[in-house]
Amino acid sequence: MIDDKSLLSTKNIPAAERLIFALDVPNAEEARDWAEKLGDSVRFYKMGLELFMASGYFELLDWLVRRDKKVFVDLKFFDVPETVRAAVRQLRNRGATFATVHGNDGILEAAVKDKEDLKVLAVTVLTSLDEQDLKDLGFQCDPQTLVLSRAKRALQIGCDGVVSSGLEAPALRQSLGEQLMIVVPGIRPVVNRETDDQKRVVDVDRAFLNGADYIVVGRPIRKSTAPRAVAESMQARIADLFAGR
């Protein structure tokens, strides 16, 4: 059976930049070691809260940018709107490509006001949450309904994209077309999927066939005995999927 490629992203993104490696490590020195180890097998890096709480976060960002790497600042800005606006304003000229914002319409509106070339991604529903978790939080709907609702609002407000599970990506792509960028975390191998804090997961092929523009991969590469080979294998599969696009 040939996989249906009707939802495959048509955005003009180099195939090698569609893989984002999550630098979920305790310090900047270890993050640099990973960037050196992975070399040209990875061109895009995500920097999250763990690194932010260590010293040298922005020095690392600058170091990556100087090496022609793209950077995804995943700090999920969530605060009163004016504070979020100020944070985006501080970040916009640092060379980062993406930044995540979490919150209601007022927070998202503030984030996009001064973003300039920085692309703002709205967080929809964390991939660590399932339907029962949402019910526990007071949401009386399934994850797909909530993700689609939040994504539509984010697009109307002026966000560049969303962070969403690959399970909801088809509904986003079918409903919103190519208007919105879809970044999918929670990528796991087809076999030997470990039990961890990610609940709504897909593998590399399924994420892109479901409509993802980018995937974020951490543990499957970081915990491998041959991380560069794993990254290169993923890049080869991505290149094959997008061949001719």
**Global pTM exceeds 0.85:** yes
pLDDT digits (tens, 9 = 90+) for 31-71: 999 999 999 999 999 999 999 999 999 999 999 999 999 99
Query: Which residues, 6 or more positions from 112, have their beta carbon under 8 angstroms from its beta carbon?
Result: 120, 157, 158, 159
Task: Return d(Cα 135, Cα 171) in angstroms, integer.
Answer: 21
pLDDT at 242: 96
Question: Which is the catalytic residue, given 37, 70, 76, 199?
Answer: 76
Q: Classify residue 227: in a domain, yes or no.
A: yes
Q: Classify residue 118: in a domain, yes or no.
A: yes
CATH code: domain of residue 25: 3.20.20.70
pLDDT at 168: 87
Q: Classify residue 103: in a domain, yes or no.
A: yes
Task: Return d(Cα 79, Cα 101) in angstroms, integer.
Answer: 9
Range of the domain at 166: 15-241
What is the total count of domains within the chain? 1
Q: Classify residue 92: in a domain, yes or no.
A: yes
Q: Classify residue 4: in a domain, yes or no.
A: no
pLDDT at 159: 97
pLDDT at 147: 75
Q: Classify residue 3: in a domain, yes or no.
A: no
For residue 212, the Cα-to-chain-centroid distance in whole angstroms is 10
With a cut of 50, list the residues of the chain below it in pLDDT: 1, 134, 190-195, 197-200
Q: Is position 76 annotated as part of the catalytic site?
A: yes
Q: Classify residue 40: in a domain, yes or no.
A: yes
Q: Using the CB atoms, write b or e for 213-225: b if 16+ within 10 Å.
A: bbbbbbebbbeee
pLDDT at 202: 81
The values of phi and psi at residue 73, to 5°, are -85, 105
Task: Return d(Cα 165, Cα 185) in angstroms, integer.
Answer: 6
